[in-house]
Amino acid sequence: MSEYANKKTRGAFIAAVFAMQGIGILAGGFVALAVSSIFDKQFPSPTYAEDRVLSTPPQADYIWRIIVMFGALPAALTYYWRMKMPETARYTALVAKNIKQATQDMSKVLQVELEMEERAEDIVKDPRLNYGLFSKEFLKRHGLPLLGCTSTWFLLDIAFYSQNLFQKDIFSAIGWIPKAATMNAIHEVFKIARAQTLIALCSTVPGYWFTVAFIDIMGRFAIQLMGFFMMTVFMFAIAFPYNHWIKPDNRIGFVVMYSLTFFFANFGPNATTFIVPAEIFPARLRSTCHGISAATGKAGAIVGAFGFLYAAQPQDKTKTDAGYPPGIGVKNSLIMLGVINFIGMLFTFLVPEPKGKSLEELSGETEVEK
């Protein structure tokens, strides 16, 4: 998308691609709600308190399988449509070095007749712009921006995926999910899916589309800096008075604060860390650098998903989940996440602002040194 879009609306186009993740989150929630509702009507079961064994009917094993298998459908459609798309003209011209094919592909996409430019041939042939990923030239030109992209994506994903882990504690604290003993297995699937879908509908999805609306007005840097800052503020605002928020009278305020952290994650670094690496690197290295940034982000997701699963355990070993050692508790874990968001805000200063610039300006591909 970054290589097909024009520089004035490129940010919104890439953000719109990423925002479809929010639609997928909602779709996943609706599928879980529908499947669990159908199974609940077909196979009614007692609660766990009434009968531990029968509270999970044998048919319940199919629920998660069906939900997961639904994910294969969009994957299959994506594969088919991607195979029908031509390679981007920039890749074909600058990497495959086939100017004629690039011109033909763009003619099909834009549905206009294009003529091959001689200037493009000069850029392809100039060896001084063909430096590699592990060269001194790349380090000099793109080293700090790559560090900025990888570090911010890594730190963002620690915080973002950790937030999802705390949902069971937070939803239980505010009464959205009843105590386990009062439900059967199918009811638990429904209650959790409902709570996650409500959070997505009210905060996660709007955050994505606010980014689409404002990214080419505010710029990537401002949105990412604002997002990390607001996530830091709301994390601390939840963490320090945590015992206040979990009281029944304060549940609405708790939900609002928690939702706002998701809103500013998506109207912030969760979107921009995906967008910027697709814009600032040379065509022949763009996907590689974006892949490195994304892989670093997934490393952060691992830290967030597994590290904080242990960290969030209560300090009292008698209250921990089965099989887990004592941790630092939810409150201290949220404080730690607030600090991580603040560090992400600092590393944002390493990331350049791509707003209003062509991909060639950003990557320096049109610079031919004399």
> Any residues with CB less than 8 A from the CB of 148 and at least 6 apart, and which?
347, 348, 349, 350, 351, 352
Token readout for 323 is: 């099989």
Angle at 362 (CA atoms; ends 358, 365), nearest 5 degrees: 90
Q: What residue spans define the domains of the chain?
A: 9-83+138-363
Indicate left, alpha or beta for 65 from its phi (over 0: left) and psi (-120 to 50: alpha).
Answer: alpha
* Amino acid 110: pLDDT: 67
Q: What is the pLDDT of residues 135-188, one digit of tens each?
A: 998 999 999 999 999 999 999 999 998 877 667 767 777 778 888 888 999 999
* Amino acid 370: pLDDT: 43
Instruction: Return the CATH number of 9-83+138-363, one of 3.10.20.30, 1.10.3720.10, 1.10.150.80, 1.20.1250.20.
Output: 1.20.1250.20
* Amino acid 104: pLDDT: 76
**Which of these, 354, 367, 342, 356, lies nearest to 145 by C-alpha position?**
354
Report the Cα 41 to chain-centroid distance in Å. Answer: 35
**Could you count the other beta carbons within 10 Å of the beta carbon of residue 132?**
10
3-state secondary structure of 262: helix
* Amino acid 143: pLDDT: 95
The residue ranges of the chain whose pLDDT is under 50 are: 368-370
Q: Work out the angle between the directed axes of helices 72-84 and 61-70 (0-180°, nearest 10).
A: 10
Q: What is the pLDDT of residues 73-118, one digit of tens each?
A: 998 998 998 888 888 877 777 777 777 777 777 777 666 666 655 5
Query: Judging by beta carbons within 10 Å of its beta carbon (0-12, 13-18, 19+), is residue 133 exposed, middle or buried?
Result: middle
Question: Measured between alpha carbons, how far is residue 137 from residues 90, 142, 348 in Å?
Answer: 21, 8, 23
Q: How far, in Å, CA of 97 to CA of 103, rounded?
A: 12
Question: Measured between alpha carbons, how far is residue 202 from residues 43, 80, 192, 248, 346 in Å?
Answer: 32, 32, 16, 21, 29
**Which of these, 265, 269, 295, 289, lies nearest to 277 by C-alpha position?**
289
CA dihedral over 9, 344, 237, 300, signed as positive or negative: positive
**Which of these, 208, 124, 160, lies nearest to 308 by C-alpha position?**
160
Cβ atoms 38, 50 nearer than 8 A:
no
* Amino acid 116: pLDDT: 59
DSSP code at position 177? S
> Any residues with CB less than 8 A from the CB of 280 and at least 6 apart, and which?
142, 145, 149, 352, 354, 362, 363
Question: Measured between alpha carbons, how far is residue 83 from residues 40, 79, 87 in Å?
Answer: 40, 6, 10
